[in-house]
Structure 1
Amino acid sequence: MAIAANKEELAAQLKGRDFLELLDYTPEEIRYLLDLAIELKRKQKAGEVYQPLKGKTLGMIFEKSSTRTRVSFEVGMFQLGGHALFLSKNDIQMGRGEPIRDTAQVMSRYLDGMIIRTFGHRNVVELARNSTIPVINALSDQSHPCQVMADYQTALEKKGRLEGLKVAYIGDGNNMAHSLMIGAGKLGMHFASASPEGYDPDPEIVKLTKEIASETGSRIDILRDPREAIENADIVYTDVWASMGFEEEQKQREKAFANYQVNEALAKYAKSDYLFMHCLPAHRGEEVSEGVIDGPHSVIFDEAENRLHAQKAIMAAIM
């Protein structure tokens, strides 16, 4: 893929932008952010101080609990020289019925940027629409773009390239499947998912991504058979069978996904040097076997670490 050489132009066009989903970003912009994440990681490992957000404040609205998202954003903002303010739904009036548009306008007077981790994607969109500061989607029911930036940063570091790699996603066609698929389409990667009937990715998102793929040389396959999806995969990805908010469906989903566990037998169909990825937290013995997630192909903790660096790149670029 040809990436625009003028980094100054890319940097200028990212300032002040929201980061809601990867559909909003060009392949060149996504690759710029990935390269920036790798550079910021290098600086941090080398002990170089880099504080472009000194004196700036990030508001973090959490309607869903989190480990990696909260810690990585707080630490990342600190390393960039700024301050992060944690706001749970019990801490702000939005949790008591204040309209999101009012919260957005008030917070815009106090802060330099906001993240939101929420259930409904419409909340992310409404917050951004009514804010005058950049808003970052830290997870919604539709997408999880920050996680995917960390995932593809990890793949780039491990494989040295992204274009032409095959990503196999086995499991629930949820927000992770959507963002992985969109990112793959944008970056010229091949994507194949396998889900049981009734749990496929959103057909509208699939349609949009296939249109993108036709321009980037990518291929998007939505399949039923996990062995067909995982065949010759460079990256094997899975997620919990019952995401947060679907706990009451746990038993039903265990039955539906019984043949969709990523285990040693299934992984044999992937390439011999495949990477195993998971956004965490994971349920060993359910969606993935211990032998795979704790085995030599697993890069789950590299992904988790890269949440810090990928999000720092996003914040530094747009704030």
Structure 2
Amino acid sequence: MAALIGRDLLSLADLSATEVQELLLLATELKSQRLKLHCPKVLGLLFSKASTRTRVSFTVAMYQLGGQVIDLNPNVTQVSRGEPIEDTARVLDRYLDILAIRTFAQQDLEIFAHYAKIPVINALTDLGHPCQVLADLMTIQECFGTLAGLTLTYVGDGNNVANSLMLGCALVGMNVRIATPIGYEPNAAITEKARAIADNKTEVILTNDPEAAVKGASVLYTDVWASMGQEAEAGARLPIFQSYQINEPLLSLADRHAIVLHCLPAHRGEEITESVIEGSHSRVWDQAENRMHAQKALLASILGAE
């Protein structure tokens, strides 16, 4: 993966279709332990949002590559006291080999990437979650042996995960349907970007009809109805999203071999039922594990592990 050495990953749109496929292949090789890589570098984690899977999976991945991790909690750094992003970025550039940032505004991430010479990875912003979707694609490929031609239906809020799913599916030749209530559609610019990548070879469909979206789909996907930073809206969203729950009746409309994914944490009884997330179609725990393998492949590629 020499082409990725030293590069940022701010969005899945930063990758080509070939690069995504090569990352997934590398992640599979690393997971199987047929391949072991060494990369004694230092990863910084600058997380302004709470995290379980992203924090732990990045940390374990870097340790398994022989590197080290510094957790840069904003509350105990000068970031919390108003130090300008560009100043923090230029200082961290002198200490670290790579930086993963989990924050609210995509613009803040882009400022970091502009002022830091080291690679910067989007570990989640309000606009996108590229590392999550790399793990999602890896999980789907494990289950079906291929990605091209499959249909993924996302049901719920048109949030950062929905945005990245559109890009990821378009890059690997999957059809993607996003079913949201009116007014909760994904980002319009990202939708158009995904359609441009798909280039009429696959479908990128937005709909307000979850039942139509799910029919015949191979993958059903959902996320919480109110993301981090939207907690004050959670109560008002509940009645709006009630018909966008992945439950047994909705699952029955999908392909009989369909799998169910959720990026977690899950609000059982809201966007997904207990019976579905714990049922035979669920691949949620494999999906969570694959965060580590996909991110290990990403770190190894960007840092030039040997």
Normalised TM-score (structure 1): 0.93
Aligned amino acid, residue 102 of structure 2: R
**Equivalent residue for 1:15?**
5
Q: Distance in 2 between matches of 1:265 and 1:110?
A: 53
**Equivalent residue for 1:193?**
178
Q: Deviations over 1:145-189 (max 9, x none)?
A: 000000000001110000000000000000000001100011110
Is there any run of 5+ residues in structure 1 with no aligned partner, and where? 1-10
Q: Distance in 2 between matches of 1:238 and 1:12?
A: 34
Aligned amino acid, residue 286 of structure 1: E
**Equivalent residue for 1:182?**
167
Q: Does 1:28 align with 2:12?
A: no
Q: Distance in 1 between matches of 2:262 and 2:149?
A: 21
234, 237, 251: which one pairs with 2:218?
A: 234
Q: How does 1:60-139 map to 2 (within 5 A)?
A: 60-139=45-124
Matched residue SS, 1:132? coil
Percent identity over the alignment is 49
**Equivalent residue for 1:296?**
280
Root-mean-square deviation (Å): 1.0
Q: Distance in 1 between matches of 2:81 and 2:215?
A: 49
**Equivalent residue for 2:296?**
312
Aligned amino acid, residue 52 of structure 2: T
Q: Does 1:167 align with 2:152?
A: yes
Q: Distance in 1 between matches of 2:60 and 2:243?
A: 39
**Equivalent residue for 1:247?**
231
Matched residue SS, 1:257? helix
Runs of 4+ in structure 1 deviating by more than 4 angstroms, as ranges, are none
Is there any run of 5+ residues in structure 2 with no aligned partner, and where? none
Q: Deviations over 1:273-293 (max 9, x none)?
A: 001000000000000011111
Matched residue SS, 1:177? helix
Q: How does 1:32-71 map to 2 (within 5 A)?
A: 32-43=22-33, 50-54=36-40, 56-71=41-56
Q: Distance in 1 between matches of 2:247 and 2:138?
A: 24
Q: Deviations over 1:120-144 (max 9, x none)?
A: 1111111111111111100000000
Q: Does 1:263 align with 2:253?
A: no
Matched residue SS, 1:236? strand
Query: What is the deviation of 1:51?
Result: 4.1
Aligned amino acid, residue 122 of structure 2: N
Aligned length: 303
Q: Does 1:222 align with 2:206?
A: yes
Q: Does 1:279 align with 2:263?
A: yes
Q: Distance in 1 between matches of 2:191 and 2:137?
A: 19
Q: Distance in 2 between matches of 1:19 and 1:111?
A: 16
Query: What is the deviation of 1:309?
Result: 0.3
Q: Distance in 2 between matches of 1:307 and 1:223?
A: 29
Query: What is the deviation of 1:52?
Result: 2.3
